[in-house]
Amino acid sequence: MVSSNITEAPVCLNWCANSSNMTYTKIELSVIISIFSMTVGIVSNSLALAILVKAYRHFKLKSKASFLLFASGLVITDFLGHLINGSIVMLVYSLHKDWDTFDPQKILCGFFGACMVFFGLSPLLLGSVMAVERCIGVTNPIFHSTKLTSRHMKKLLALVWLFAIFIAVLPIMAKRPYEVQESKSWCFFKIKNKRDWVDVFFPLLFSTLGLVSLFISILCNTVTGVTLIRSKMRSEKHRQGRSHHFEMICQLLAIMLVSCICWGPFLVIVKIGSTDSQNNVSCERMLLAVRMATWNQILDPWVYILLRKAVLKKLFIITRRCCGYKILNLYKWNCSSMKCSMRMTSMSSQPGLVPESSIRSVMPDTVISGTVPCT
């Protein structure tokens, strides 16, 4: 018995040492991933925000300005999400995820959970609002130019943020605070061991709002894209003043695709976990879905960095040279169509000078004012 214990002791110690090393390796890897995603997200959103702010001041297109306003709000939300949530994650890892020691009152966990909900729900809501705004601007330009003013767009942006804040603080108001998840690296709604219907309601509300926002984005972007393609194929003159529309549609489609890929799995898992009474959602699957969702805030700014008119124009020129002009006859990106649209806008702003039918035939989109340089 003594020799057996002596023989097994080094094996046990080696196994414990190996398991400890594996645990520290996983923690170090998680910290490296968090630092990398936080740094890339902050840099990317800062660059995209600078581009959008410059474009918002530069362009005086009403439809473009409204789109850039929401896009800037989306990038600001992503930037703050990376900065705040990333800082809390770094703090949690630096304190060895011992929540009972550094957060016995669950104050930091409540704030962390509310930030997770707010910075997760806001981009989804903003993406759907941007899709609806573009759909109205393309399908009903007269209503968009007369009713949806810049002041209304700013109020709508503020309402979206306030609604997301309300959803985030709703569990705290109902005295159902956020809880530390199994990985002990983040806080969220109570997914497992639910007590009553209230614990089911909050994650179900969050996932339902997110999935509905994705569905609205898909529907409105499909309608907008089909409308633009049909108007372009119907008549040559409908191509005037449409370059900025196709730029925005490309950006919206990219945002929608990124949101579906990054947020879709997490929203589905949360919805299943909120309705599953047997608690079959694993910790690894949930953590992987959360990390996929954080990449949405990293990829969103690159949509505005890469899918700009100047970049798309160069890509079109390269593609035309590779495929040949006869095979691929692309739209000419010039300033003449923009100047024509500007002239029609100034005439349309004065009722009685130009019939509404002629305005629709030449400029079927929202009001354009100011000067637009050739890019």
Greater pLDDT, 229 or 330 = 229
| CB burial of residue 192 (10 Å; 0-12, 13-18, 19+) | middle
Of the listed ranges 19-33, 65-79, 173-187, 201-215, the least confidently predicted one is: 19-33
Higher-confidence residue of 157 and 319: namely: 157
Q: Quick check: helix, strand or coil at residue 279?
A: coil
Q: Looking at residue 107, what is its pLDDT? A: 92
CB 151 within 8 Å of CB 160: no
* DSSP assigned state of 158: H
Average pLDDT over residues 2-22: 39
Residue range 271-280: average pLDDT?
A: 76
Q: Provide the pLDDT for residue 167.
A: 95
* Partner residues linked to 188 by β-bridges: 179
Q: Please check whether residue 362 is in contact with residue 344, taking contact to mean a CB–CB distance below 8 angstroms.
A: yes
Neighbours of 34 (CB within 10 A): 19
Q: What is the pLDDT of residues 219-241, one digit of tens each?
A: 998 898 888 888 777 764 444 45
- Of 59, 224, 229, the C-alpha closest to 130 is 224
Whether this prediction's pTM lies above 0.85 is answered by no
Q: What letter represents residue 244's amino acid?
A: H
Query: Which amino acid is present at 97?
Result: K
Distance CA 130, CA 184 (A): 35
Which is higher by pLDDT, 324 or 302?
A: 302
Q: What's the alpha-carbon Rg for the chain, to the nearest Å?
A: 26
Query: In whole angstroms, what is the distance from residue 62 CA to residue 369 CA?
Result: 7
60 pLDDT more than 70: no
Q: Enumerate the β-bridge partners of residue 179.
A: 188
Q: Is 116's pLDDT higher than 90?
A: yes
284-317 pLDDT, tens digit per residue, is 888 888 888 888 888 888 887 777 777 767 777 7
Nearest to 375 by CA among 14, 55, 50: 55
**Residue 20 has which token pair?**
């400890």
Answer yes or no: is pLDDT of 346 > 60: no
Residue 321: per-residue pLDDT: 76
Helix (H, G, I), strand (E, B) or coil at 281: coil
